[in-house]
Amino acid sequence: MIMTLKRFLFGRPLKSSEAEAEKMPMWKALPILSSDALSSVAYGTEMILLELATVGAFAFSFSLPIAIAIILLITILIVSYRQVIDAYPQGGGAYMVAKENLGMIWGRLAGVSLLIDYTLTVAVSISAGVLAITSAFPAALPYIVPIGLIFIWFMVWMNLRGTSESGNVFAFPTYLFIFCMLILVGKGLFDWMTGKALAEHHIAISTGFPAGLTWFILLKAFSSGCSAVTGVEAISNAVPHFRDPAQRNAKKTMLTLGVLLAIIFGGVTVLSQAYAIHPDPSGTKTVLSMVAEDAFGRGVIYYIIQISTMMILTLAANTSFNGFPILASIMAQDNNMPRMFSNRGERLAFNYGIITLGVLASILLIIFGGRTESLIPLYAIGVFLSFTMAQVGLVIKWRKEKSHGWQRKAFINSLGALVTFFVVIIFSITKFEEGAWIVVVITPVLLWVITMINKHYKNVAKQLNVDLAEPIPTTDTIIIIPVAGIHKVVVSTIGYAKALTPNVVAFYVAFSPEAAKEMEEKWEEWNPGVRLVVVVSRYRTVIKPLMEFIGRIEYHFGEQKRITVLLPEFFTRKWWHRLLHNQSAFRIRAMLFARKDVVVATVPFRLNN
């Protein structure tokens, strides 16, 4: 029944040979790997306006030049990551670039930064998706966190079913959102050009600074708006998961993403001025919701836009549910993450990475109460730090190789490194007190953790290394069987032990001299051909006398004989029957596992009912 339920929830197991069928064509890769970047336009403009609103509505005219600067940054990153795809088609993105050109420590830093960003992406996108629901349906406001948790674990479930199925489910909402945004931008621009937008408001780029507006506020608005840039690196991380020709398809997907980002993000920013949108200080209505309402009214199209926005914001987490497990698996292969992260499950998905991301994102959502504005300050520092290291790594690579056109490539990546490092500094300063300090502190802590993981694996490998030319050492063994009486479990255990070695000793702990004498008489009558050692325990404990006996054997034989403890143990058919029996075998096993020179094994005997 359990296996049937598992098949129903997650589907049939996939063979390793079916991995090729799980790879993504372009039409499926765009919604799976680009939903994070595309969804950012739903709140990128709003983040800019919220910062500018601190000095007054007169500063909103500066949102357009800020948006233009962000679009230029997107252009630089798209060009740069297309180069990453060409240089590192095996995937890994910034982690691979930094590891191979800057050194492993920088590769680990890039990996940690991306893993943090992927986790925050899930929390931010889910909370923003729930906010889109509450904008249209305010009655849902008290249930922000429960709704968010339901969305997170729905994403976990779908991704555990495999890339192919999750892509089929998530493709339609992404394309619906793209269509809705293009229709919205087109309708808004038409209204503005024909004068149907509010006539008293016009789009303008101010040439001077109004009173109260400082460079610090502008840089703060720019850093908040850069949330629209996150997610573009996911495509370069997953190049091997594209259908052949993988590099060409990945580069085309990257270019498509860049064009869509520029059109939608720039268009929404323009419309926020055309319709004179002021961000809602209560946080219950989004800027995108107000733009859609001004363009179409609260009709069917408005609700379709809100529903598509909610779905894309929720599905933005799907980029992380693909990026996080893939990156964690690559890092695990380099011994920088626990080994289990490199293992694929029955559906060829990286189950450990998917579930770990779901748990971490759920914790964040609960801690911050599902508030997008509280999570945004933590957001994007990690990804821009990885952007910077990737660009610097590529500059070093081009200078070393000096291949055709390397000067042009190096210039592009140098510019990208300068800009993204500038953004990291801006984020760290302007958002530090709002919560960015958490990322600044936790990044070196996690870097230290994975460095210790790597060190552990190296130590284990060193200790387990085998010289194949050396013969396998053989050691005689003596088997000790703790017995609680004479029954079928003991009979089968003694029979198994005698088949391994003639050096077998049965060990019995009695709680009174009378019980000891009775056991000796029964054993002599049975005569299984195995010596019985009986010890009377004055404190009614089994483990201490056994440990003392093992110690005497070790002292007597030294390294001449290896000690093996065989535990006779029966197993009941029903779990609750186990609670009715003494768990002495479990306690003995737990104690003996700490003894490095003692082998512990169980001889099971299964009861029929």
The answer to whether residues 567 and 600 touch, using CB atoms and an 8 Å cutoff, is yes
Mean pLDDT of 28-45: 81
Judged by average pLDDT, the poorest of 226-235, 391-400, 517-526 is: 226-235
d(C-alpha 282, C-alpha 533), whole Å: 79
d(C-alpha 9, C-alpha 59), whole Å: 52
d(C-alpha 69, C-alpha 400), whole Å: 31
d(C-alpha 319, C-alpha 35), whole Å: 6
The predicted pLDDT at position 306 comes to 84
Comparing 328 with 403, the larger pLDDT belongs to 328
pLDDT bucket at 377, cuts 50 / 70 / 90? low
- Answer positive or negative: Cα dihedral of 72, 73, 75, 76: positive
> Is a pLDDT exceeding 60 seen at residue 207?
no
d(C-alpha 532, C-alpha 481), whole Å: 9
d(C-alpha 256, C-alpha 248), whole Å: 12
Q: Residue 232 belongs to what H/E stretch?
A: none
Comparing 466 with 552, the larger pLDDT belongs to 552
The predicted pLDDT at position 49 comes to 87
The predicted pLDDT at position 343 comes to 86
Above pLDDT 70, what percent of the chain? 89
> Is a pLDDT exceeding 60 seen at residue 115?
yes
Mean pLDDT of 8-35: 74
Can you spell out the DSSP letters for 507-518? EEEESSHHHHHH
The answer to whether residues 233 and 20 touch, using CB atoms and an 8 Å cutoff, is no
pLDDT bucket at 368, cuts 50 / 70 / 90? confident
The predicted pLDDT at position 395 comes to 92
Report for 170-174, 193-197, 350-354, 558-562: range of highest mean pLDDT: 350-354
pLDDT tens-digit profile of 274-320?
A: 888 888 766 667 788 888 888 888 889 988 988 888 788 777 778 78
> Is a pLDDT exceeding 90 seen at residue 174?
no
Q: At 374, list the tokens.
A: 């509280």
> Is a pLDDT exceeding 50 seen at residue 63?
yes
Identify the residue whose tokens are 């029966």. Answer: 570
The predicted pLDDT at position 200 comes to 44
Report for 97-101, 342-346, 433-437: range of highest mean pLDDT: 97-101
Residues 6+ apart with CB under 8 A from 313: 39, 42, 43, 125, 126, 128, 129, 131, 132
> Is a pLDDT exceeding 50 seen at residue 199?
no
The predicted pLDDT at position 37 comes to 82
Q: In angstroms, how far is CA 585 from the centroid of its own chain?
A: 38
The predicted pLDDT at position 449 comes to 94
Mean pLDDT of 135-164: 82
Q: To the nearest whole number, what is the mean pLDDT of the chain?
A: 83
237: left (phi over 0), alpha (psi -120 to 50) or beta: alpha
Mean pLDDT of 388-413: 89
The predicted pLDDT at position 6 comes to 67
The predicted pLDDT at position 372 comes to 64
d(C-alpha 566, C-alpha 186), whole Å: 77
The answer to whether residues 69 and 222 touch, using CB atoms and an 8 Å cutoff, is yes
